[in-house]
Amino acid sequence: MTASGLDAWRGVAAEGNEELTGQATIRLQRRSRRLLGSLLRPHHRTLWFAVVLLLLQNAAAMSGPYLVKVGIDRGIPAIDKGDGPTVLVVVTAAFLVAAVMEYLTKRAFLVTSGRVGQAVLYDLRTRVYDKFQRLSPAFHERYTSGRVISRLTSDVDALGELLDGGIDDLVLAALSVGSVGVILLFLDLPMGLVTLLSFPLLLLLSRWFRRNSAIAYRRTRESVALVIVHFVESLGGIRAVQAFRREPRNQEIFAALNNDYRRANERAFKLIAIFAPGIKLIGNVTVAVVLVYGGYRVLGGHTEVGVLAAFLLYLRRFFEPMQELSMFYNSLQSASAALEKLSGVLEETPTVAEPHEPVPLPHATGRVDLDNVRFAYREAIVLPGLDLHVPAGQTVALVGATGAGKSTVARLVARFYDPLEGSVRLDGIDMRDLAEKDLRRGVVMVTQENFLFSDTVAENIRFGRPEASDDDVEAAARAIGAHEFIAALPDGYDTDIGKRGGRLSAGQRQLVAFARAFLGDPAVLILDEATSSLDIPSERLVQRALRTILADRTALIIAHRLSTVEIADRVLVLEQGRIVEDGSPAELVSGGGDYAGLHQAWADSLV
Amino acid sequence: MSTGRLRRRSSLHSLWRIRSYVRPYAHQMLLMTAAAGIAVGASIVVPLITRSVVDGPISHGDRSGLVPLGLLALALGVLEAGLVFVRRWVQSYAALGMETALRDDLYAKLQGLPVAFHDKWQTGQLLSRATTDLSTIRRFLSFGLVFLIINIATFVTVIALLVHLYAPLAVLVAAAAVPLFLISRNLSKAYLDTSRRVQDQQGDLATLVEESAVGVRVIRSFGRRDHVGHQFRSGARTLHDSAVDKATLVARFWSLFDLVPSVTLGGVLLLGSLAVTEDAMSLGDLVAFVSLMLMLVWPIESLGWILANAQEAMTAADRVYDVFDTESEIVDRPGAVDVGAAEGHLRFEGVGFSYASSSHPVLRRVDLEVRPGETLAIVGVTGSGKTTLTSLVPRLYDVTAGRITLDGRDIRDIRLTSLRRLVSSAFEDATLFSSSVRDNLTLGHSDASEDEVSEALEIAQATFVHDLPWGLDTRIGEQGLSLSGGQRQRLALARAVLGRPSVLVLDDPLSALDVHTESLVEEALRRVLSRTTALLVVHRPSTVALADRVALLEHGTITAVGTHSELMETLPSYRAVLSQHAEEVTAR
Ligand SMILES: Nc1ncnc2c1ncn2[C@@H]1O[C@H](COP(=O)(O)OP(=O)(O)OP(=O)(O)O)[C@@H](O)[C@H]1O
Ligand SMILES: Nc1ncnc2c1ncn2[C@@H]1O[C@H](COP(=O)(O)OP(=O)(O)OP(=O)(O)O)[C@@H](O)[C@H]1O
Ligand SMILES: [Mg+2]
Ligand SMILES: [Mg+2]
């Protein structure tokens, strides 16, 4: 793969090829049908009820024309004979009753099907959402947040459209096509057979449409996802976009993606623009053929005029619903493409999975062992073989050049990833055997990119322990010296901190993230540059707090400022994924190795 | 005026404003409507032909009349199918063209809106406007609008035919329009509110999704899957409930639209039969009347669907115009000039600033001067307003009092693109985009030469990019390779120094670097800083050494300016912020 031409700006990345073979297509479609089935299954009783309502509604609707006929045939002669309008009034009353019945059943049907449809969407949304939350960080890195959003919005909407419009049409249409087809054969077998000649054509056309529209709709799903990915990413970084005048370039990219989406849609729309009138054409031609053929048969004395008239009337009832069926088929195809994507997500297995039979660990003491851990994000090995044993209660500082693999070690200890080889253990138990909740109670990590939710300060801190009281929250904030600034916010702890905590300064965000982790009260606390944006006084407050906080728990601290490192019991120097020095700060400083050099440089930098 | 009516009027108005997007496709829209109209006509005529076949050639045993009529039916059938094809084919690019143009413009508008707007608006809400709402509008333009016209035309035509047959009864049928009108008016009030609620809640849910997708690591780190799952469920539940409300309303709507033609037919039956017995009309007329009337059933029934569609499009248009109508506050002033090069004399004159979300000013009466080529460090405690101060320079926000000048000219009098080319920044959090390393570096300077790129990489000590799988062509950012924190920060720094900006604004640019790398970067940076004006936010004494002078920001204003050693000696509050040695701290 090379980056060249117009698309060079994109850069090169290893990507999966999305072209599908026929076999794969069938598998995908089967998968999406299965998902649809499993979504509808819990509602099968309600669905039957809806079908009954529909039949009643149909019966009521059908009785209308019949009653008109009765009214004219019987009511008028009755009046003419001087019997008074009783018959007419009765018929009209019956007609009105039927109308009201139709109204009521239709309304009940729509309410019922609306409820089922929304319940199905709710079910699907929560299933997919939960799945995404279960999938490992490696998956999310590959998939990107924009795609997650696209799956849960635009793809779910596509199914919503299917459920919103036309289930009633589908059932009625299928019923009427089926029953009318039988009637046609009974009315006049040869003419019926001529009608049936249109069937192979209909099937061929439908098959053509299914094949091509599956591809087209799949492309719409993929291209809309790319539009969303770009939209979310570029508006998320709007500061940099504007400061670096990237708007024109972004606009170009967006227009190109938007145009791809348009083309994908256009392709699908054009297919339906051929398919729908195609069905209509087959129907219309059949009607004309039957008209002439039937005419000859009548003239030849093979059949009655009445039969031909009835046949032609029924023929319309046969082909008209086909049109609705074809529209339904179209929505189904569009929804299946979305379901393919969604079922794909649901079928993903988390690479960092929860064990089937977890080893219970209600109260971790905090011993952490990494045995011969080998790890790579992609091809390049980041940790070739790491051995690290941290007894419970020890505070370990991890230092080293940027890109040395410090955060990677931290992520492995927090089990964001599993090692390729070797094992990471908490209290002697392999993390792969620990239940998620035991692990998370035991290990909490403050990440380099501290993410805050758009909620109040208090709720953000409480995220560390949802059952914490307001007092607990405040105590945590006080402990790390964040109380002062929080109290000074317009609504104190109830201040909404906006999207990603944007209403706070960088240091304030770190303090909140820190308070959140502190409230979590884990046996192992990992701090990945948790104080990098703090000013020196705040940092000092945090350090003082750390001394007490870390007294009785294991800690892994990553920091570039050696002031933070000084509170550690033990320092590890990491170089290209290997531990090159290991000892207490004092030992290392006097040892004359890397750390001593670092320390010297740092001491010099202080005035 | 009631708020309901106000909303309806404004929604209708928003929808009406979409016309500027329809205009380029006016011909196509006409063609679509005409094709739909003729196709409906053809489909009405075909049954008439079959009837005349039965009544004519067949009853008269006229073989020769059969074929022409058959051919006519065939021709009409083909015509109808052909016209449906034309309508759909045209629609496939006309409707999508309008949707695409709207989306492009919406995105352009969003990119142009100031950072303050984006602080306030959730991405999910914006996204749901750009996707769901625009599709709703497209559906209305391609189907709803066309059939609204066709159905009304059918209604009027059929009524005219009915009047021709028997006027008194036709009046009865025409009167059916009154309940239809009342029903739609009544329900549309409730429906507009509900559909707006549904659309807003869809946006809220998208926001929740976006947040938990971006924050997935934090959620995992705290094991709060159930917690966010619960939040999502309650959001999805709310949406579910509103959507069910909407479905219930729709059910009422549509079933009433079914009821009206049925009841009318009942009335026609009763009164028509009486009229026949009175000899006011013939039996044949009544039959014709009834069968014509049956043709009205579908147009009336589908009117319910179309109106619902129209109202959704109205609320969607409303939501889209919420964005379009937001004034961009940060735009070129009239008479703003292009400035090619600047000496880099930056002055803050009585600058005050407060964020829209709080009345409390963050900056007050800031006076500051950075002379050409000088490097000024800004020092202050967390939350003192350093980032805010720096973001005023490239006009990410506009000052709310006073002014900032560059070479004596108010920066608001310089064209934005020009100002932002002169001023180059590195932010606290390194934002990288999903594109190649090179593209990320040359963001603001697409014309940068290879030498300039490698010089910038050298300065920021970011030569590690050459070791990436595809070197400078490797895609990074969310859709590419993830980098470590320090690697990202160095790239952001390289991007800022590239192209020798006149003014360099660096917000805590070395926070994620280890001591060794930091000193290497400082060394290299010194060379760059010697030739440009720079504003440098720092937390560490080591970085302060890069600056010629230091300004102390306290309580939203500059309280002291001087060299590091001066301030260190004379100012306890400065020592408190910058001294690493706890014993020197007297404050706190
Ligand atoms: N998610 C990822 N996918 C692929 N490669 C990664 C990922 N995260 C980090 N890397 C690469 O792995 C190496 C180690 O990264 P890591 O984040 O562990 O470094 P670090 O020591 O924490 O550095 P820093 O001090 O800059 O944060 C780097 O070369 C980096 O580019
Ligand atoms: N978008 C915003 N809306 C409202 N208030 C804000 C916003 N951004 C920042 N603030 C507030 O303005 C004050 C100054 O924030 P700023 O980010 O400028 O601080 P800072 O000096 O850069 O701090 P740090 O050293 O932590 O980065 C803070 O109290 C913060 O809460
Ligand atoms: Mg790191
Ligand atoms: Mg800041």
The residue nearest atom 28 of ligand 2, judged by CA position, is B383
**Average pLDDT, stretch A291-320?**
81
Mutation target among B86, B209, B425 for the A interface, most CBs of A within 10 A: B209
User: What's the burial of B319, exposed, middle or buried (CB within 10 Å: 0-12/13-18/19+)?
Assistant: buried
User: What are the distances in angstroms from CA A510 to CA A465, A513, A530, B520?
Assistant: 17, 5, 6, 27
Mutation target among A54, A97, A101, A244 for the B interface, most CBs of B within 10 A: A244
The answer to whether residue A531 scores a pLDDT higher than 90 is no
Which of B117, B355, B577 gets mutated to test ligand 2 (max ligand atoms within 8 A of its CB)?
B355
What pLDDT was estimated at residue A151?
93
Residue A285: partners with Cβ closer than 8 Å, 6 or more residues away: A198, B74, B77, B78
- The percent of residues above 70 in pLDDT, for chain A, comes to 95
What pLDDT was estimated at residue A27?
82
Among B residues 408-427, those touching chain A with beta carbons less than 8 Å apart: 417, 420-421, 423-425, 427
Determine contact: B48 vs chain A, CB below 8 A. Answer: no
The answer to whether the beta carbons of residues B70 and A254 sit under 8 Å apart is: no
Lining ligand 2 with CB less than 6 A are A 502-508, 533, 535; B 119, 355, 357-358, 362, 380, 382-388, 428
Chain B residue numbers with beta carbons less than 8 Å from the beta carbon of A298 are: 58
Residues β-bridged to residue B481: B476
Among B residues 142-201, those touching chain A with beta carbons less than 8 Å apart: none
* pLDDT digits 0-9 by tens, A13-53: 554 444 456 677 778 888 888 998 999 999 999 989 988 99
- Give the pLDDT band (50/70/90) at residue A12: low
**Average pLDDT, stretch B357-385?**
91
3-state secondary structure of A350: coil
B507 membership: H or E segment, kind and range: strand B503-507
Report the residue from A10, A287, A504 with minimal CB separation from B73.
Answer: A287
User: What are the distances in angstroms from CA A182 to CA A185, A195, A281, A318?
Assistant: 5, 11, 22, 10
Cα B546 versus chain centre, distance: 43
**Rounded CA Rg of chain A:** 35
How far is residue A265's CA from residue A262's CA, in Å, rounded to a whole number?
5
Q: Please state which of the ranges A315-324, A496-505, B163-172 shows the lowest mean pLDDT.
A: A315-324
Distance A593 CA to ligand 2 centre (A): 40
Nearest Cα residue to A120 out of A186, A187, A38, A227: A38
Q: What is the DSSP string of B324-374?
A: HTS--SS-PPTT-B--S-----EEEEEEEE--TT-SS-SEEEEEEEE-TT-
* Angle of CA points B152, B156, B157, to nearest 5°: 115
> Helices B225-277 and A86-134, interaxial angle, to 10°?
160
One-letter-per-residue 3-state SS of B449-472? CHHHHHHHHHHCCCHHHHHCCCHH
**Average pLDDT, stretch A540-550?**
85
φ, ψ (nearest 5 deg) of residue B550: -125, 140
Q: What structural domains and CATH numbers belong to chain A?
A: 3-12+22-346 (1.20.1560.10), 368-606 (3.40.50.300)
Mutation target among A126, A129, A205, A509 for the B interface, most CBs of B within 10 A: A129
Distance A459 CA to ligand 4 centre (A): 23
Determine contact: B116 vs chain A, CB below 8 A. Answer: no
What pLDDT was estimated at residue A231?
94
The answer to whether the beta carbons of residues A7 and A323 sit under 8 Å apart is: no
Distance B553 CA to ligand 2 centre (A): 13
B537 membership: H or E segment, kind and range: strand B533-537
Q: What structural domains and CATH numbers belong to chain B?
A: 11-324 (1.20.1560.10), 346-587 (3.40.50.300)
What pLDDT was estimated at residue B586?
36
Residue type, B257: F
User: What are the distances in angstroms from CA B280 to CA B164, B176, B274?
Assistant: 14, 22, 9
What pLDDT was estimated at residue B130?
94
What pLDDT was estimated at residue A85?
78
* pLDDT digits 0-9 by tens, B421-450: 899 999 988 888 888 899 889 887 878 888
Q: Which two tokens stand for residue B273?
A: 């039969």
Other beta carbons less than 10 A from residue A2's beta carbon: 8
The answer to whether the beta carbons of residues A232 and A145 sit under 8 Å apart is: yes
Other beta carbons less than 10 A from residue A37's beta carbon: 9
The residue nearest atom 14 of ligand 2, judged by CA position, is B385
How far is residue A37's CA from residue A389's CA, in Å, rounded to a whole number?
51
Distance B28 CA to ligand 3 centre (A): 57
Chain B residue numbers with beta carbons less than 8 Å from the beta carbon of A246 are: 433, 443-444
3-state secondary structure of B404: strand
Q: Which two tokens stand for residue B199?
A: 């659309």
Residue A452: partners with Cβ closer than 8 Å, 6 or more residues away: A460, A497, A500, A501, A504, A509, A512, A513
> Helices B515-529 and A594-605, interaxial angle, to 10°?
40
Diameter of chain B measured on Cα atoms = 121
Name the strands in the sheet holding A443-446, side by side, starting at the edge strand that comes first in the sequence: A443-446, A524-528, A554-558, A395-400, A570-575, A578-583
How far is residue B225's CA from residue A350's CA, in Å, rounded to a whole number?
14
Task: For chain A, give the mean pLDDT.
Answer: 86
- Give the pLDDT band (50/70/90) at residue B5: low
Ligand 1 atom closest to A410 (CA) = 18
Which of A139, A140, A144, A408 gets mutated to test ligand 1 (max ligand atoms within 8 A of its CB)?
A408
Alpha carbon of A148: minimum distance to chain B alpha carbons (Å): 7
How far is residue A93's CA from residue A83's CA, in Å, rounded to a whole number?
18
Alpha carbon of A25: minimum distance to chain B alpha carbons (Å): 26
Which of A382, A402, A564 gets mutated to test ligand 1 (max ligand atoms within 8 A of its CB)?
A382
**Average pLDDT, stretch A585-602?**
82
What pLDDT was estimated at residue B582?
46
The answer to whether the beta carbons of residues A345 and A364 sit under 8 Å apart is: no
How far is residue B139's CA from residue B128's CA, in Å, rounded to a whole number?
16
The answer to whether the beta carbons of residues A422 and A372 sit under 8 Å apart is: yes
- Give the pLDDT band (50/70/90) at residue B4: low
Alpha carbon of B261: minimum distance to chain A alpha carbons (Å): 9
> Helices A470-479 and A536-549, interaxial angle, to 10°?
120
The residue in chain A having the minimum alpha-carbon distance to the alpha carbon of residue B565 is A607
CA atoms within a 13 Å half-sphere pointing along the CA-CB vector of A235: 32
Residue A517: partners with Cβ closer than 8 Å, 6 or more residues away: A444, A445, A446, A464, A525, A527, A530
Q: What size, in residues, is chain A? A: 607
One-letter-per-residue 3-state SS of B211-222? HHHHCHHHHHHC
The answer to whether the beta carbons of residues B238 and B176 sit under 8 Å apart is: no
B464 vs A505: CB contact, 8 Å cut-off? Answer: no
How far is residue A456's CA from residue A496's CA, in Å, rounded to a whole number?
4
> Helices B177-214 and B225-277, interaxial angle, to 10°?
170
The answer to whether residue B585 scores a pLDDT higher than 50 is no
The residue in chain A having the minimum alpha-carbon distance to the alpha carbon of residue B465 is A403
A490 vs B358: CB contact, 8 Å cut-off? Answer: yes
Q: Which two tokens stand for residue B451?
A: 């030498």
The answer to whether residue A372 scores a pLDDT higher than 70 is yes
User: What's the burial of B167, exposed, middle or buried (CB within 10 Å: 0-12/13-18/19+)?
Assistant: exposed
Chain A residue numbers with beta carbons less than 8 Å from the beta carbon of B287 are: 72
* pLDDT digits 0-9 by tens, B402-421: 999 999 999 999 999 899 98
What pLDDT was estimated at residue A4?
40
How far is residue B354's CA from residue B401's CA, in Å, rounded to a whole number?
9
Give A111-114 contacts, CB < 8 A, sequence gap 24+.
A111/B247, A111/B248, A111/B251, A112/A46, A112/A49, A112/A50, A112/A53, A113/A50, A113/A163, A113/A167, A113/A168, A113/B247, A114/A164, A114/B243, A114/B244, A114/B246, A114/B247, A114/B248, A114/B250, A114/B251
* pLDDT digits 0-9 by tens, A215-232: 999 999 999 999 999 999
Q: Which two tokens stand for residue B102?
A: 């709207």
How far is residue A190's CA from residue A293's CA, in Å, rounded to a whole number?
10
B541 vs A76: CB contact, 8 Å cut-off? Answer: no
The residue in chain A having the minimum alpha-carbon distance to the alpha carbon of residue B539 is A535
- Give the pLDDT band (50/70/90) at residue B588: very low
How far is residue A381's CA from residue A577's CA, in Å, rounded to a whole number?
9
Report the residue from B263, B443, B473 with minimal CB separation from A3.
Answer: B473
Distance A240 CA to ligand 4 centre (A): 15
B383 vs A485: CB contact, 8 Å cut-off? Answer: yes
3-state secondary structure of A574: strand
Nearest Cα residue to B468 out of B478, B482, B455: B482
Residue type, B372: P
Cα A342 versus chain centre, distance: 7
Q: Please state which of the ranges A348-352, B233-237, B503-507 shows the lowest mean pLDDT.
A: A348-352
Report the residue from B96, B120, B132 with minimal CB separation from A266.
Answer: B96
Which of B359, B387, B392, B535 gets mutated to test ligand 2 (max ligand atoms within 8 A of its CB)?
B387
How far is residue B69's CA from residue A562's CA, in Å, rounded to a whole number?
97
How far is residue A119's CA from residue A116's CA, in Å, rounded to a whole number?
5
Report the residue from A236, A246, A464 with minimal CB separation from B222.
Answer: A464
**Average pLDDT, stretch A303-321?**
78
A266 vs B119: CB contact, 8 Å cut-off? Answer: no
Determine contact: B447 vs chain A, CB below 8 A. Answer: no
| Alpha helices by DSSP H, A10-85 | 22-40, 44-70, 76-80
The answer to whether residue B321 scores a pLDDT higher than 90 is yes
- Give the pLDDT band (50/70/90) at residue B587: very low
- Give the pLDDT band (50/70/90) at residue A567: confident
Name the strands in the sheet holding A381-390, side by side, starting at the edge strand that comes first in the sequence: A381-390, A368-376, A421-426, A429-430
The answer to whether residue A108 scores a pLDDT higher than 90 is yes
**b/e burial code for range A158-183 (CB count within 10 A of at least 16 → b):** bbbebbbebbbbbbbbeebbeebeee
Task: For chain B, give the mean pLDDT.
Answer: 87
* pLDDT digits 0-9 by tens, B205-224: 999 999 998 888 888 888 88
Among B residues 225-244, those touching chain A with beta carbons less than 8 Å apart: 225, 227-229, 232-233, 236-237, 240, 243-244
What pLDDT was estimated at residue A10?
66
How many contacts does A have with B, using Cβ atoms within 8 A? Answer: 556
The answer to whether residue B116 scores a pLDDT higher than 80 is yes
The residue in chain A having the minimum alpha-carbon distance to the alpha carbon of residue B69 is A292
